[in-house]
Amino acid sequence: MDLIDRKILHELQLNAKISMKELAQKVYLSSPSTIERVRRLEENGIIKGYKAIVDAEKLNRNITAFVLFETTKCKDLAAFCNFHPDVMECYRVAGQISYVAKVCTESVHTLEEFIDKAMEFGTPSTNIVLSSNDNMEIKFSKDNSNQ
């Protein structure tokens, strides 16, 4: 992956709906060359897909929390989180805790209901998000062209 590929990834992370013509202009390539590079990044699995970023608050999910779990019931907790509608992300992690679940829900009452149900699978510790920069872009260092 070279500098141009990294520029393409940067632009696509900022706006995945950018036209190939506009992307080509931003990375100083022809449209066919840009299309070929994007196709290769997709085929190599570097670009895994494209998705919409949804504003949870506009869907009345005003509370975001990270719930950390100490558990020995890993598979059961993972299954619970995979099927719970308020769980946006769930990670198995190393260290004192076993899982981290990102929960977006309507209120502290529905968050409490989630915690009560999840206690069957382990000991939760909850951190409510007060603010976020929402910057999900992967940044590339300029001096590391081998990535």
Domain encompassing residue 75? 56-128
Q: Is residue 84 part of a domain?
A: yes
Which of the 8 DSSP states describes residue 64?
E
**Encoding tokens for residue 34?**
């840009």
- Does 119 lie in the same domain as 79? yes
Q: Exposure string (b/e) for 8-35, b if CB count within 10 Å is 16 or more?
A: bbebbeeeeeeeeeebbebbebeeeebe
Instruction: For 30-71, write each residue's pLDDT tens digit.
Output: 999 999 999 999 999 999 999 888 888 899 999 999 999 999
Q: How far is CA 71 from CA 84, 111, 127, in A?
A: 18, 19, 17
Which of the 8 DSSP states describes residue 54?
P
- Does 124 lie in the same domain as 60? yes
Q: Is residue 140 part of a domain?
A: no
* Count: domains in the chain: 2
- Give the ranges where 15-139 is alpha helix by DSSP (H): 20-27, 31-43, 74-83, 108-118
Q: Is residue 119 part of a domain?
A: yes
- Does 106 lie in the same domain as 80? yes
- Does 64 lie in the same domain as 121? yes
- Taking the C-alpha atoms of residue 94 and residue 141, their distance in angstroms, rounded to an integer, is 27
- Does 81 lie in the same domain as 38? no
Q: Is residue 64 part of a domain?
A: yes
Res 132: pLDDT = 84
Q: Is residue 89 part of a domain?
A: yes
| This prediction's pTM | 0.77
Q: Tell me which residues of the chain have a pLDDT lower than 50.
A: 145-147
- Does 70 lie in the same domain as 9? no
